[in-house]
Chains A and B, each alone.
Chain A
């Protein structure tokens, strides 16, 4: 027995002793699963994968599918096409800041900003080829600026201030320590600074391999610089000149950016707004989209339930006001808007447009090109009805808009803006203008960019036209028999006049959860 005790005790003593000896190591475990922040940014692949992360939210439903479009939907160009009180209250400027539809843009944008800051902080020290390092840094500066651009004009003005500026210099500050700059122009200055760096670092998109298309590029940086200057000029007239020079920089960048014009106005605008021109001469910046994801705007603005063929969501229906804004003979009208009785191809069959659902009796046609094909599901359009994308890269900025920016900036400086303006009109099959006025410019901007992220609502705000525009009711072509494409219609009020206070409603309420999380003040009046 003594022997047994001895044996057991030795065994136990040994095991316990060993365990104690290495017990410090026992609980000293390296994180498993993926690299951690401490040992990232080591090699080329790390840098590229970090840069890829900048684009994740491009396809987010709450960014450039609906997201920011809820605000654009407030304009006089469109109405919400179905019962939806949340959307209605946004359009009616009757918001609390708790709306789920408009929550995500703010935090998602700052997520991209954080990712850009990580790159700007870490990549300069890495050993990479000069071209790659420049490209990745350029992508980071561009994407940071791009998201600040959206945040700044959506939530910032001179009344309530800009949006907090978080860069690589203060990204690790404590939660709750970020404050709003005095004016949104501080944001614009920082955005332009980033875009300048980006435009110097980035290559022309024409130099990209097919697999790198969709990344930030020089023209995009210059283009957003132009638009930032245009918005900035609302507060500082001197920025119009900068807007013009930025547009010229794109035109002369060497990438061949020009208006898509084959001399066939009946066809050109249609083909421009199709996947065939995803990477065409007007490409500046888009949401890269395909059958596995991208911007859902085409499906969101499609007839509710797609006449039984597809899960269209039925929002964003054009108004009769927009329809009537088009001049006679403008080839863009039929490409932009479908009205009752219009022929269009859908899932391989020719239909006459009618709708029991559309509040206005109209439907945006711009994003419908990809639906025309027979059996388009899986090849032209996403089979997932909860993710109704098409292979059209939804435009964020087209070269046409740059010309309109230039024209506006010239006119606002008292110069002649006819040349850029008329490039657009010619393509549409319209006569050129001479000594175009701001009224001409506003008209052209409205019809050329209708239903796009160019942002008609914010145009009305910065032009000071919003109060007048929104104090009028909106009309639709309300047909007597919605089942019959040929039935007559009445021009009925489909949206009553709204109250818009230009002093404070030029900006939208910052989501309450953001305020609660950071302590920054809400925009005045909300």
Chain B
């Protein structure tokens, strides 16, 4: 036999060796094996494996497997001989099995997912009848790890499984991220507000980078980069948290890995399941703008306080129109939004194939008018067992999504903030049905007093926006079991993503922010990616020794191209005319293109002795196109070990059933923060106006960013110590992990010295450390007919910037961030010794209650705040220089939570089920920039939040809102101070679901195995928080300028299975 295994192994080794930095003797030895003389070693090794197989069958064990709960036969249960794990079978559609064994006596293990496994002895030919009980614990659970699976109890690294996925279909979540909130210790989901076109972002074990970090998603063994998959297709999820677990996915796994397994057919006839729900979403808390008369009064008082004349528009005799309230703009932009979802899934399996097809539809309106999210998805998944040894299969997933969001983050054109700005005197529409301006046309002279405001309903409803994205993902594989325990698998994944983004902006004729131009913005983008993995694995037990070796060679390639065009000047704004060709002015189009390639060679060995001592090690070599030639490749090792003390003979405890300690260490190269061409940045292109006729089509080319050919891999290194234990007949289990995760050579744009006139090159700038403690515990029990499950998790995260050694050569030890409120307040800075994105603010010390207090606030006899009057803010002169300036800023907390927690309770009783998730974060600080415009009468005349009625006056001194003024001489608002910083800790009833499953007997008439469950579910039922804004979950870095609030959702649905 031609030893092809040798080819793979030697190729693999050769590849590893080309760049391995080891020069020690042991590695030279490996290299030597490539010489022809040593090749004989491999066939010999294979021969050894061959000896282990082949024997004669003698005894037949037969039986039927039932479920204890419902007395129904269980097809697909696994029956394996304990003595010879290579001998096994699965039960057929009637729960029957037959297994022929060598040994005359022994025992077999019968297992089925979600059931307690049973060991049964046999003696000669035996007939067995057994009843499996539903599992209370998850120790036997099979957990997906990288390139394989493992029993949960055999894990050496930090891997969490996501619980409650069987109920994901009854939660109105559009994607897995939203489902994960509060579910897993160490996994923080930051909702990006409630915009339906956005999904929550996941942070696993803290922020290790300044770039957008996203965990790698692996679906059915292959990395997946497309839009979020239909949550209904998901069967199980595990999260690889530490480097040792994630290392095998290398390059893209520095922020952790979410490993998803989609549903597959179970043995038996086709099963159809139908899931539908419908519901409504609403906002829990909205701000209240001033009514028309209040706005006039407030501005008149503000003018008085500033010593300037009243504006004509706010004079009741000159502008009586402005005194009448016609609209509550918050009510006009928000709505009760509908959500619908339908899923149909057909699956089954026979002797030669396993199949699953699913179709899903989700339609989710946003709370704000005009916003929505729609998704159609289709999945086809099949495995064919061509022979005992060869399996081929494919998994196709197609989705079409269309998300229409809105800008809620701009304090100029944000849709929510404009609903605050818009005068309450203005109606939504004028008498012709057109959007109304800040004032009617015949009162245009007063328009200026109300500021540059967009009609917020117009802002939401006027543009025609479509962002259809078609994504097709396919995985095809061939698995060949060369020898028992030795298999080869090749998988090819291809993903094509076509996205279009088109927005037509009609003219804005009404007064406020008139714009007599119309615009069409259109982007087409195309992303093609393929990944090819070739994997050889060997798994074998030799007595009590269990060894598992995996080698993988993986290559992937991406090509992205987008084209953007802006057109202006459309003669008609009718739908038929909203196409680019009808523009009369064309801006020069722009394109964005990149290619990306990555190759990886991976090796991993897992070994355990008697399932008591575990050790695992892996090494991965990655080579990327994103770095300059000399730095393209690097090697990242990991090692982990575990010790199950409870399996020792000396360990005798009736209380503790299982006790295991784990430790791991590993490094991962992170490619996600590297720009595609950081080593040689393409030049920028702009349009310039020149010439006698001021044409805008002069093309300009310039260097807008510097290159860094010396950029190297960013390394994420993590150390994890963990403990798993279970008590009281495994009714209680707990997991405790302590980790330190350090990002070394963190890639970020270097110090951008504005004198250089270009954006700085990416540099390996510094080091960030996240350390933390994660704790999760569960309890499961059955008391009479009540099944009770409770699970809680708790995580503490500490984030610190350790150094900025490579950031610059000028000893600048902080990064100033550009996030701002109206280009005036810049609250964020990352400094060595502080968390990333800490707030950096002037301490606010209350309000001056009298002129005496102002006069008493002096330094060397001079007033520290000379412009202050009673009712203005007092700021701390931190540097004691006699004035309030940028120099007085100090570090304060960031948006990163100090700890997060979740608590999940499930109860089942006679077909009724109840589940709830409480979830919360603490130590979170939001910079409430909304207050800058909402409470500030010195902007351009906008309407304000009615909290300004509580502004300081000599009669109203118990307030933290400064006196009203059309000037801001004391910079009450213009100072980035701690007045804006608010505690946004919260605890939220994330989900509450009540369901009822109809008795099996009732449905027997329809179909033997049918089931029906109906349920009511509510998301975000209540939130306990001190935060004064609409919603504490503002997303991003924690800057709130009137963010889209997360909705409260009520749904009802049913799940029918036939």
Contacts and interface: CB of A to CB of B under 8 A. Distances in A.
Do chains A and B stick together as partners? yes
Interface of A: 2, 5-6, 8-10, 12-13, 15-17, 19-20, 23-24, 26-29, 31-38, 40, 46, 49-50, 52-53, 55-56, 58-59, 82-86, 88-89, 92, 94, 96-101, 103, 106-107, 110-115, 117-118, 164, 166, 171, 174-178, 210-215, 278-279, 288-294, 303-305, 307-311, 313-314, 355-357, 359, 377-378, 382-386, 391, 393, 478, 482-483, 492, 494, 496, 512-514, 516-519
B814 to A, nearest CB: 8
Nearest to B629: A28
Residue in A96, A210, A290 with the greatest tally of chain B CB atoms within 10 Å: A96
Interface stretch (B192-200, B589-597, B647-655): B589-597
9 contacts: A6-B2, A40-B683, A88-B938, A115-B757, A166-B755, A210-B691, A289-B689, A308-B444, A356-B312
A92 B810 contact: no
A247 to B, nearest CB: 26
B309 A478 contact: yes
B1033 to A, nearest CB: 27
Given A12-B4, A13-B11, A292 B966 contact: no
A56 B974 contact: no
B862 to A, nearest CB: 13
A270 B658 CA distance: 94
A393 B694 contact: yes
B691 A357 contact: no
Given A55-B688, A517-B753, A85 B698 contact: no
B336 interface: no
Contacts of B569: 378, 383
- Of A28, A98, A112, A113, the most chain B CB neighbours within 10 A belong to A98
A242 B283 CA distance: 70
Interface residues of B, number: 123
Contact of B480 (A8, A40, A82): A8
A37 B683 contact: yes
A274 B700 CA distance: 28
A417 to B, nearest CB: 35
Contact of B757 (A31, A46, A59, A110): A110
A29 B513 contact: no
Nearest to A147: B757
A103 B680 CA distance: 29
B941 A83 contact: yes
Contacts of A177: 753, 809-810
Given A58-B689, A177-B809, A214-B691, A5 B4 contact: yes
B488 A305 contact: no
A27 B598 contact: yes
B534 interface: yes
A9 B4 contact: yes
A94 B757 contact: no
A12 B753 contact: no
Interface stretch (B60-68, B101-109, B820-828): B820-828
Contacts of A59: 689
B968 A89 contact: yes
A522 to B, nearest CB: 9
B736 interface: no
Contacts of A212: 690-691
Contact of A176 (B11, B751, B825, B940): B751
Contacts of A49: 699-701
A307 to B, nearest CB: 6
A93 B189 CA distance: 45
Nearest to A97: B886
Contacts of A35: 682-683, 701
A308 B938 contact: no
Given A83-B939, A110-B755, A175 B750 contact: yes
Contacts of B966: 83, 85
B764 to A, nearest CB: 15
Interface string B692-705: 11111011111100
Contacts of B750: 175
B808 A176 contact: yes
Interface centre among B680, B681, B692 (most CB of A within 10 A): B692
Nearest to A62: B823
A356 B445 contact: yes
A33 to B, nearest CB: 4
A371 B514 CA distance: 16
Contacts of A106: 754
Contacts of B684: 34
Given A98-B886, A107-B754, A496-B307, A85 B939 contact: yes
Interface in B653-692: 676-677, 680-686, 688-692
Contacts, number: 374
A355 B313 CA distance: 12
Nearest to B759: A111
B696 A290 contact: yes
Contact of B938 (A83, A97, A118): A83
B967 interface: yes
Contacts of A383: 515-517, 568-569
A234 to B, nearest CB: 25
Interface of B: 1-2, 4-5, 7-8, 11, 14-15, 307-309, 311-313, 318, 441, 444-449, 451-452, 480, 482, 488, 490, 508, 511, 513-517, 534, 553, 555, 557, 568-569, 585, 591-599, 623-625, 629, 632, 676-677, 680-686, 688-696, 698-703, 707, 750-758, 760, 808-812, 814, 816, 820, 822-826, 867, 885-886, 936-941, 966-969, 971, 973-976
Contacts of B555: 19, 23, 26
B808 A174 contact: yes
A16 B534 contact: yes
Nearest to A118: B703
Contacts of B5: 9
Which of B452, B515, B755 has most A Cβ within 10 Å?
B755
Contact of A385 (B2, B448, B513, B692): B513
A49 B753 CA distance: 25
Contacts of B445: 305, 307-308, 355-357, 482-483
B318 A483 contact: yes
B701 A101 contact: no
Closest A-B pairs by Cβ, 4 of them: A100-B823, A176-B810, A9-B4, A308-B444
A112 B808 contact: no
A205 to B, nearest CB: 11
A503 to B, nearest CB: 16
Contact of A178 (B625, B753, B760): B753
Contact of B599 (A26, A36, A215): A26
Given A35-B682, A114-B756, A383-B568, 8 more contacts: A6-B1, A34-B701, A83-B941, A83-B966, A293-B689, A308-B447, A383-B516, A518-B754
Contact of A100 (B683, B689, B822): B822
B507 to A, nearest CB: 8
Contact of B11 (A17, A40, A391, A512): A17
Residue of B311, B632, B694 with most chain A CB atoms under a 10 A cut-off: B694
Contacts of A494: 308
Given A27-B599, A33-B591, A118-B702, A305 B511 contact: yes
Contacts of B534: 12, 15-16
Contact of B444 (A99, A103, A178, A305): A305
Given A36-B683, A113-B757, A114-B756, A9 B7 contact: yes
B2 A10 contact: yes
Contacts of B585: 292
Which of A35, A212, A356, A383 has the most chain B CB atoms closer than 10 A to its own CB? A356
A377 B516 contact: yes
A58 B694 CA distance: 12
B27 to A, nearest CB: 18
Contacts of A92: 969
A290 B700 contact: no
B317 to A, nearest CB: 11
Contacts of B816: 513, 516-517
